[in-house]
A and B are shown apart, each in its own frame.
Chain A
Amino acid sequence: MKLIADVGRCVGAGQCVLTEPDVFDQSEDDGTVVVLVDEPEGDQLEHVREAVRVCPSQAISLSG
């Protein structure tokens, strides 16, 4: 599964970083999402699904 982040939609709530800090980070400049792992697997993938569910702006998605 490929993790896709739409920085334009991101509102920097940081919920993804709280969920899986090994996959997500935030830009120091404007707080928007930075993806550290493009193709998460195993536990990380499960945590990414949770992050997709709680993201307030539908800025992250999984495809493939």
Chain B
Amino acid sequence: MTEAVQIRPEQFPLTRECPFSPPKEYRDLREEAPIARVNLLDGKWAWALTRHEDVRTMLSDPRFSADRSNPDFPQMVMGRVQDDDAEKSLISMDAPEHGPARRAVLGEFTVRRMEALRPRIQEIVDERIDAMLAGPRPVDLVRELSLPVPSLVICELLGVPYSDHEFFQAHTATMVSRQSSVPDRRAAFQAVQTYLGDLILLKEKDPSEDDLLGRQIIKGREEGTYRHRALVAMAFLLLLAGHETTANMISLSTVALLENPDQLALVKADPARTLPAVEELLRYFTIVDTVTARVATEDVPLGGVTIRAGEGVLGLGFAANRDPEAFADPDDLDIERGARHHVAFGFGPHQCLGQNLARMELQIVIDTLFRRIPDLALAEPVGKLAFKDEAAIYGMYSLPVTW
């Protein structure tokens, strides 16, 4: 017996109602049909999950696959960028392949290892703010602070020359924009792959213990597991995720705090509030919303429906993070709410590998920026700012500030 397939009119991906609010359809979906079939760009449909509990349950269930090369995987942009035989990175792997691959690099991202980077990150942030203070106003915060800080940090950690930052930042911008053509996205992807492939070939000749890529080569060779293509795929993921996401969060956090002076006053009054503020800002913006998609590999009952093998699922993190069942008054920015159960870093075995680096970068930037420039202000009203409505990772193209 087949049930009638009812598909809601919403077509994903949807656009945010404003920089501070999810697509307005998210609320309707959560209230009317929290597990609903919705349309995708390519004419297919997928299940959209909008409740916090359902998103966490789905992302924890190994019967939902993260394999982006599966033809049934729900597509958020038109056209595939990678070939079918492309090396899988961590975000596309399932058990049993995923665990050992993640653990091979996890030791690099422990809380203690990230804490050891703190003095250097502080130094980088101070240098950038010195340069801002020495130059003319207004300043584009994206160009002078948001983008350089995480780019410098991830370059130093990986062992990628920062002098190449304009090359990989420009290609990243092309890759994450839904407005880029498929050939342009493919070309950008290939260019960065080739660049990292050449860089890693050089490192293979004389790998250094001083950077992550060198250490991965040494460790992989000792254990007899080293593969060039696997390291290129990992380097690509870490480089892209390591600068684009944090850069956008720095810009958005600055705007949100300036627009919520009562919250900014709380942060300024006590540095112990910065880390909880970072958690709340992560929840409030959830800049990576549709990456937490999956495809069912078996029939799975979930929240009163049965998701069939081969059906795509969107675990909408931004909807989950604005679910009133999980967060009271979810549309308010409230740094004291206790937001740590947000899913802005995803959930389950794929939860962001670099989350503790991101937290520390955001904490240091917010503390230092508002301490050193206490009268920081937007140089343009929010309505005139350039937000990345068409990007797979939400953020800002520029952010003019003054003081």
Interface residues of A (CB under 8 A from B): 11-15, 17-19, 21, 25-32, 50, 53-54, 56-58
**A18 and B356 in contact, given A11-B349, A31-B107 (Cβ under 8 angstroms):** yes
**A32 and B346 in contact, given A14-B111, A26-B112 (Cβ under 8 angstroms):** no
**A58 and B110 in contact, given A11-B349, A12-B103, A50-B340 (Cβ under 8 angstroms):** no
Using A14-B111, A18-B356, A31-B108 as known contacts, list a sample of 16 further A-B pairs with CB atoms less than 8 Å apart, ordered by residue number in A.
A11-B106, A12-B102, A12-B103, A12-B106, A12-B109, A13-B355, A15-B340, A25-B112, A26-B111, A28-B107, A28-B110, A31-B106, A31-B109, A56-B345, A56-B349, A57-B60
Give the size range of B's interface with the partner.
20 to 34
Q: Which of B82-141 contact A (CB under 8 A)?
A: 99, 102-104, 106-112
Q: Is B348 an interface residue (CB 8 A)?
A: yes
Contacts of B340 in A (CB 8 A): 15, 19, 50, 54
The 9 A-B residue pairs whose C-beta atoms are closest, nearest first, are: A31-B106, A56-B351, A12-B106, A30-B103, A26-B110, A17-B111, A14-B111, A11-B349, A13-B351
Most chain A C-beta atoms within 10 Å of own C-beta, residue among B102, B341, B346, B351: B351
Bound-complex Cα distance A26 to B270 (A) = 29
A53 partner, pick from B109, B341, B346, beta carbons under 8 A: B341
Q: Interface residues of B: mostly helix, strand, loop or mixed?
A: helix
Chain A nearest CB, measured from B338 CB (Å): 9
Q: Is B189 an interface residue (CB 8 A)?
A: no
Contacts of A57 in B (CB 8 A): 60, 348-349, 351
Interface residues of B (CB under 8 A from A): 60, 99, 102-104, 106-112, 340-341, 345-353, 355-356, 359
Bound-complex Cα distance A15 to B343 (A) = 12
Contacts of A15 in B (CB 8 A): 340
Chain B nearest CB, measured from A48 CB (Å): 14
* 16 residue pairs bridging A and B, Cβ less than 8 Å apart: A11-B350, A12-B102, A12-B106, A12-B109, A13-B345, A14-B109, A14-B355, A18-B359, A26-B111, A28-B112, A30-B104, A31-B103, A31-B107, A32-B103, A57-B348, A57-B351
Q: Does the CB pair B107–A27 fall under 8 Å? A: yes
Bound-complex Cα distance A56 to B340 (A) = 11
Bound-complex Cα distance A44 to B391 (A) = 42
**A54 and B106 in contact, given A11-B351, A14-B111 (Cβ under 8 angstroms):** no
Q: Does the CB pair B110–A17 fall under 8 Å? A: yes
Bound-complex Cα distance A41 to B110 (A) = 25
Contacts of A30 in B (CB 8 A): 103-104, 106-107
Bound-complex Cα distance A53 to B352 (A) = 17
Bound-complex Cα distance A31 to B104 (A) = 9
Chain B nearest CB, measured from A27 CB (Å): 7
Q: Does the CB pair B346–A56 fall under 8 Å? A: yes
Chain B nearest CB, measured from A25 CB (Å): 8
**A54 and B341 in contact, given A12-B109, A14-B355, A30-B107 (Cβ under 8 angstroms):** yes
Bound-complex Cα distance A27 to B108 (A) = 10
Bound-complex Cα distance A57 to B104 (A) = 18
Q: Does the CB pair B110–A12 fall under 8 Å? A: yes
Contacts of A13 in B (CB 8 A): 345, 351-352, 355
A29 partner, pick from B99, B107, B352, beta carbons under 8 A: B107
Chain A nearest CB, measured from B157 CB (Å): 15
Nearest residue, chain A, Cβ from B59 = A56
Q: Does the CB pair B351–A58 fall under 8 Å? A: no
Chain B nearest CB, measured from A21 CB (Å): 7
Q: Does the CB pair B110–A14 fall under 8 Å? A: yes
Nearest residue, chain A, Cβ from B98 = A11
Nearest residue, chain B, Cβ from A29 = B107
Nearest residue, chain B, Cβ from A17 = B111
Bound-complex Cα distance A14 to B102 (A) = 13
Contacts of B353 in A (CB 8 A): 12
Bound-complex Cα distance A15 to B346 (A) = 13
**A31 and B356 in contact, given A11-B102, A57-B348 (Cβ under 8 angstroms):** no
